[in-house]
Chains A and B, each alone.
Chain A
Amino acid sequence: MTDILAGRALTDSTAVARLGKRHRAERRFKCYGLAAIFSALAVLAVLLVTIVGTGYSAFVQTYVQLDIEFRADAIDPQGTRLESDFRQANYAVLVRDALVAHFPDVSGRRDRRALAGLISSGADIRLLNMVLRDPSLIGTKRAVWVKASADLDSFTKGQIPRDVPEDERKVSDLQITWIDQLAAKGLVEKKFNFDFFASADSREPEQAGVLGALVGSLLTLLVTLALSFPIAVMAAVYLEEFAPKNRFTDFIEININNLAAVPSIVFGLLGLAVFLNFFGLPRSAPLVGGMVLALMTMPTIIIAARAALKAVPPSIREAALGMGASPVQTVSHHVLPLAMPGILTGTIIGMAQALGETAPLLMIGMVAFIVDVPGSFTDAATVLPVQVYLWADAPERGFVERTSAAIMVLLAFLITMNILAVVLRRRFERRW
């Protein structure tokens, strides 16, 4: 009977056609799935390639070698050799003289200014620091590598093309001939941009670095960790191990779950209204930023910690209680240490979230332009993602590559933290 039916079904041409159609639909459907996955991966790849592609050039910086004559009459005309006199001296003159020595036929105010525009305005500080370190330089002539200005830097990196009309690029034809002459003498070189990691923000792209933001992020995260980790672990322990099942604990649970879904900017509003306006804490401070981020990450850590505590089998608790340990001893000596790898994994993931968070920090004034590296928890500071935001808004061409470079630094930290979390989980995860 079945054989007859099967035979008929297979010979029936419309049924065969229908089956083929259904199988084609099946293959199509599978392709949609693969296409969806690969389109998401493609966007991720494009994102990363764009960031790295625009950012890697910020790790090198163009330097120009100049024969600086440390003239005594410019640095220390009275011959006092006092630090205060060194600080008042005009080092820009020395830079300009060294440039003019290369191009003696440059005259006129505008051309001289264009010539001086090749060198970063931060070169003065570098010369000052050299003199402060070694006053015996005065009166001698040294070859010094000084930073090129942001425009020259962009030009030598090929970001400002040579072949566009002069009025459409920031480097004039005259400046290009000077650059070419300097380069022909081997006086223009690209070196590793150490200052990018050693200096704080600046209005001049070639002098701006991420150190200030890195230290700000570190201070902020320290506050976040110090507040959120103990409180979240204690809350999780209470809810998972001690809390009676009643309305009150239900209410706490609902609150935690809802807080985990509240948009981060709302936490910023809370920080502004409560911490700044009500308690009068300082604006832009890592202390306040850390407190806001702690409130934000606490639900994440609580949820992870509860899952880790739940994974510890009840037999452990029963054995400890059976040996005469009190409930508190059972938890603190046995359950909590066994759950710790899971809790730490959740904490690292929460910290990584806090590190990448921007919006709530804008609300409490961490967007200020800050040239100093913050020294304490109450100094005005900014953090890495906010630095990215600030530089992304800056109009200067040189900040584009620096924004991407700052993003690369940020992503490097996030990747490290996540790898740490994965390693921790692999290494210490126990299957019961």
Chain B
Amino acid sequence: MSVSELSLDRDPSSRFVPWIVAALSLMCAIALGTAFALASMTADWGRAASDQVTLRVATGDTDIPALVDQVARLEAVSRIEHLPREQVARMLQPWLGDVAQVDTALLPLPALIDVRLKPGADTSELRALIADRSEITLDSADAWLAPLQDLAGLARLVAWVLAAVAVGAIMLVTVFATRSALVNQRQTVDLLRLIGAADGYIAKRFQRHGLRLALFGGIAGTVPGLIVIFFATAAARLQGAALLNGLTPSLAGWLAIAALPLIVALVATFTARVTVLKLLRASW
């Protein structure tokens, strides 16, 4: 008695469902991959920016070694380095050309002091120290990074919306396919009800069918999605821009994307069940 009473596998309305679910799963996987990769990248930016600041001291008679000593003694500071004048001059190479040809002594170069803060520490101590010293400026990445983080946040939001739209579309496809299958199988469904089948018994047949179709479609869409995410993020990192170094989903992100077929299958199962029960309960 293993044969199902409802021949849903031969239902013509289900024929294209796995492929539509596969396309939507691919879109969902890429959107999730983008969201998770952007989340990792911005977290990376935040870590790098929050623990590294630069003190820029204008040319003058400031006692740099004394300043370095003062700063090093602050609770929040883990490491400090006064950048050599030659290194500072090299930073100007894009504008001055080969600095070896230039007498840098004539240039009013500022002294740069690279300060690393302890994890979780903020710059309040440092800002208090230099508050009344107008020749010293504190440069942090926050100022230019904030708009980029806002932009990345917006891109993440768009990616999440796309993923949600894809899941919503999968639910809609399941609803339409289930309704069509129910119409095509109406006589059999009516017979099953007449001989005493509970609505839940009939719904279970449809939800199993929905689960099979969605699981197949989910796998068929997610696997290429994972490959696309892997190569796309790797290609972005290979561009060499330091900003893109963290552009890859975290391990939890990869696992979440890999679990997409199961999520899609559960969504389709639930949707098919609710659709069938709602339609059956409309009639006695």
B partners with A: no
Residues on A lying within 8 angstroms of B by beta carbon are none
Residues on B lying within 8 angstroms of A by beta carbon are none
